[in-house]
Structure 1
Amino acid sequence: MTSSIASERQALEARARSLVLPKGFVFGAATAAYQIEGAPQADGKGESIWDRFCRLDGVIADGSSGDIACNHYHLWREDIAVMKDLGLDAYRFSLAWSRLFPLGAGRANATGFAFYDRLIDGLLEAGIEPFLTLYHWDLPQALQDKGGWYSRETAEHFANYAAAAAAAYGDRVKRWTTLNEPWTFCWSGHATGEDAPGLNDGAKGGVSASHHALLGHGLAVPAIRAEIADASVGIVFDLNVVEAASSDPADVAAARRFDGAQNRWFLDAVFKGRYPDDMLALYGKLLPDIRPQDNAIIAAPVDYLGVNIYRRSVIAEGTELAPLNFQRIQPEGSYSAVNYEIWPRCIYDILHYVSDNYAPKAIFISENGVATKPETVSSDGHVWDDLRAKYYVDHLEEVSKAAGEGVPVKGYFAWTLTDNFEWAYGYTTPFGITHVDFATQVRRIKYSGKIFAIIAGEGKTLTETKPSARLA
């Protein structure tokens, strides 16, 4: 290692130690069931839309799937050991709906429920608070076959599933998220076909799925509260602060439309009890059946908002997703392996956007991180992901700034705990603060993980974790 690299790392570690965040600020890492668990048919689990989607030709960059992924279903103890080594306060994870209800409704799968019992108990024994997400994109295929998120019945099934999960885990889990990123799973899954279930129905598909997903959220909130008196319930949106590419009125209008689709459609519905008038007018005949009581259902009071933030959106007039009619502009700068601009200011901007316009009781940065090309273990046994390490310091400095200005940001979750199956990118774009050798399932905390541990106030010796002998 050259002296300049050593000096840069020393300077970065000094910046990490100097970060100031509010007392009680939660540091955690996040994952999603399909991306890490594997075991798609184990112990009675039903098929999900991602199990089905990954069988299609050409939809995943490397032709892979989440069939094995990180084998978390069997190696969860090793993953908790990694979390302890990182000094995490909390772990944000999702339940696989079809592991609990193989057909999405009806018969419960006791073995699936028991898996999450073990995981939750293990987290609590390790002093790590579980933040549980009910839906992170893996709808049971049996419900998709009946219409999926195009059907109001799916929203009702979701509320029943939420109630059952709350009844099972509410004695130990107090932090509940209904949906993760409805913009992405509704539009990428139903408008463009990039994600499961692979429907290419344009804006009509995106809007219809979005309304029914939000309806499911609104029905689930009181269902959870009915089972857990002291539950803290929220929803996670993937948001972007939107900038017009120029002062041209056409670009300004396109940016307004994009902001309406990705941000205001969801935020207004939950926090203001109505969809934005300009977007209702824009979508017009593309809208699904929105019944009089739906707005009030969707606006069930929440305790916190989770914000997933990866970039800003610079928008010009274009032809994408009519009638949104936009194009994304890529300003000169640094980009991640998934072509997201690395722009730390975005996290400060989105925190103020949400706080200033919607005033949620509390905000968590529920995902933030950066993709790279696949990494290798160096000859010294380390994974030196300096770009990611710097990314976390840069972005958390912006969080610290916003918190100091009164934004009620209460925690930050790194995306993601371990390298995993990254949806349509397969295994080509790792995000993890822990490296996974998918051939051996050895976990090895990266340099970014060390930096994250320093920020969290737990600068300790970090090691690798190997799978137990029974699974090696």
Structure 2
Amino acid sequence: MAKLVFPSDFVWGTATASYQIEGAVREGGRGPSIWDTFSHTPGKVANNDNGDVACDSYHRYEEDVALLKKLGVNAYRFSIAWPRIFPKGTGQVNPEGLDYYHRVLDALIASGIEPCVTLYHWDLPQALQDKGGWANRETIDAFVNYAETVFKAFDGKVKQWITFNETWCVSFLSNYLGVHAPGYTDLGLAVKVAHHCLVAHGEAVKKFRALGIRGEIGTTHNLNWIEPYSTRKEDVEAARRMRAWNNEWFMEPTFKGTYPAFMVDWFRAKGAEIPIRAGDMETIAQPIDFIGVNYYSGGFGRYKQGAGLFDGEEVQIGFDKTFMDWNVYPDGLYKVLSWVREEYGDTPIYITENGACYEDELTEDKRVHDAKRIDYFRKHFIQCHRLIESGVPLKGYFAWSLLDNFEWAEGYRKRFGIVYTDYNTLERHPKDSYYFIRDVIASGGLEV
């Protein structure tokens, strides 16, 4: 067997998000978010589940940090709940919210784990949504004010900051497809929201630099890899549009200060215009220290008139599937990160999320034998090693997720964790995949 050895400074971590794990939605001075509203709207979330309790990490964070320490990771990515810092989005700072995150950060640092903090993982204060949410440019100012408050409060404790998680989900999934909060189905609105979030990212980066905050700052986009089903021109162009919706539409402005022209034309033909103001594109393209990439899947696409938003349909070619019905496509990770480097240069890359949902069962001896998830991680770790050997500046990997948690519109029926959460008792039980990752980290690589 061959041993694939990772660099000694490679960052191994795992990730969570505030609304998915914290619970305690009415404690500590926290205000309501759009996800509180959405999840309490009948029919929006599977089984009408909500995040009121989730994994109760608000009260059990020390237990979760202990799990991280035993796992052996040297970093942990989590998000701050904006409504805990500003219950109404703006106005008075809530000191209890800041105190809570100080305790989390101190616990991580004491355990030798570097915090990687995401400022926005979808829990917009409801008070701001009531004024138009991300469609209202005033929300950009509110976000920068929130970011400045958090930057100053935690300067020195956090060395890696992420402005936004998955702007595609914030915009298109939430405002065009209507699957996530706030649940609208308006393409023009989604294009506007995407632009305003990108501007907010750029303004936050500018504020970070102006304040002289220590550490690094970047953003995270969820990328996929759609191959053309054939070399027919129609298939190539359809697959490119399908791929660009996640990839170029967000990467191009982040790195080059432009939107891809072929996509601008496509959206314009659908009646959706980008509300660009003077200086916006320069702001969006502020230099960043790293780019975060969330990767889960990909596939093959071909032209079909009238299919979806882009006259394209996915063709199933026999991929294994996760319980989310997503293709298991490890080679897509290699292809998409190779593309990132080719298109956007040698900016350091972190895989800020990668993982798989499967049907997990807790045995009588409190174990979860999740062989499929282990296989998923193993295959993607191999692609990570290929990327590093190929000169792609991949600096770290964060497994999604530390815990089974509130899986957004899927509620609690879909489990991504490497630790099983018993939602009746809130007990945590490490799965076999937890021990697999622990051993990979401890040995500095894996046998293949």
TM > 0.5 between the two? yes
Contact kept? 2:152, 2:213, Cα under 8 Å: no
- Find the aligned partners of 2:292 and 2:154 in 1 and give their Cα distance: 21
Residue 259 of structure 1 aligns with an amino acid whose one-letter code is R
Whether 1:212 and 2:185 are equivalent positions in the alignment is no
- Find the aligned partners of 2:29 and 2:436 in 1 and give their Cα distance: 40
Q: In structure 2, which of residues 254, 262, 284 is the aligned counterpart of residue 278 of structure 1?
A: 262
Alignment-derived partner of residue 470 in structure 1: none
Alignment-derived partner of residue 453 in structure 1: 438
- Find the aligned partners of 1:311 and 1:269 in 2 and give their Cα distance: 23
Alignment-derived partner of residue 222 in structure 1: 206
Deviates more, 1:342-351 or 1:76-85: 342-351
* TM superposition shift of 1:432: 0.3
After TM superposition, the structure 1 = structure 2 runs for residues 54-453 of structure 1, keeping only pairs within 5 Å, are: 54-201=39-186, 203-284=187-268, 285-318=271-304, 319-322=306-309, 324-373=310-359, 375-453=360-438
* TM superposition shift of 1:312: 1.2
Distance 1:338 1:196, change over 3 A: same
- Partner-residue secondary structure (3-state), 1:43: coil
- Partner-residue secondary structure (3-state), 2:141: helix
* TM superposition shift of 1:92: 0.1
- Find the aligned partners of 2:316 and 2:135 in 1 and give their Cα distance: 33
Contact kept? 2:346, 2:392, Cα under 8 Å: no
- Find the aligned partners of 2:4 and 2:145 in 1 and give their Cα distance: 43
- Find the aligned partners of 2:344 and 2:76 in 1 and give their Cα distance: 26
- Partner-residue secondary structure (3-state), 1:196: coil
Unpaired stretches in structure 2, ≥5 consecutive residues: none
Whether 1:37 and 2:33 are equivalent positions in the alignment is no
Distance 1:344 1:260, change over 3 A: closer
Q: CA RMSD in A?
A: 1.5
Whether 1:23 and 2:15 are equivalent positions in the alignment is no
* TM superposition shift of 1:245: 2.3
Contact kept? 1:86, 1:458, Cα under 8 Å: no
* TM superposition shift of 1:458: 6.4
Contact kept? 1:224, 1:231, Cα under 8 Å: no
* TM superposition shift of 1:313: 3.4
- Find the aligned partners of 1:156 and 1:307 in 2 and give their Cα distance: 26
Contact kept? 1:166, 1:228, Cα under 8 Å: no
Counting aligned pairs with the same residue, the percent is 41
- Find the aligned partners of 2:78 and 2:443 in 1 and give their Cα distance: 22
- Find the aligned partners of 1:145 and 1:49 in 2 and give their Cα distance: 9
CA deviation map 1:69-108 (0-9, x unaligned): 1000000000001001111110000000011001111111
- Partner-residue secondary structure (3-state), 1:372: coil
* TM superposition shift of 1:326: 2.5
Distance 1:235 1:320, change over 3 A: farther
Contact kept? 2:120, 2:164, Cα under 8 Å: yes
- Partner-residue secondary structure (3-state), 1:266: helix
* Residue correspondences, number: 441
Distance 1:172 1:256, change over 3 A: same
- TM-score of the pair, normalised by structure 1: 0.91
- Find the aligned partners of 1:99 and 1:351 in 2 and give their Cα distance: 35
* TM superposition shift of 1:227: 3.0
Residue 274 of structure 1 aligns with an amino acid whose one-letter code is T
Deviates more, 1:257-266 or 1:438-447: 257-266
Residue 313 of structure 2 aligns with an amino acid whose one-letter code is Q
Alignment-derived partner of residue 465 in structure 1: none
CA deviation map 1:343-391 (0-9, x unaligned): 1111111110111111142000000000012x22223432111111111
- Find the aligned partners of 2:361 and 2:260 in 1 and give their Cα distance: 47
- Find the aligned partners of 1:242 and 1:291 in 2 and give their Cα distance: 32
- Find the aligned partners of 2:402 and 2:94 in 1 and give their Cα distance: 27
Unpaired stretches in structure 1, ≥5 consecutive residues: 1-13, 460-472
- Find the aligned partners of 2:7 and 2:341 in 1 and give their Cα distance: 16
CA deviation map 1:113-165 (0-9, x unaligned): 11000000000001000000000111111111111111111112111111110
Contact kept? 1:240, 1:312, Cα under 8 Å: yes
Residue 325 of structure 1 aligns with an amino acid whose one-letter code is D
- Partner-residue secondary structure (3-state), 1:19: strand
- Find the aligned partners of 1:430 and 1:452 in 2 and give their Cα distance: 17
- Find the aligned partners of 1:41 and 1:228 in 2 and give their Cα distance: 34
Residue 363 of structure 2 aligns with an amino acid whose one-letter code is S
- Find the aligned partners of 1:190 and 1:346 in 2 and give their Cα distance: 27
- Find the aligned partners of 2:134 and 2:230 in 1 and give their Cα distance: 36
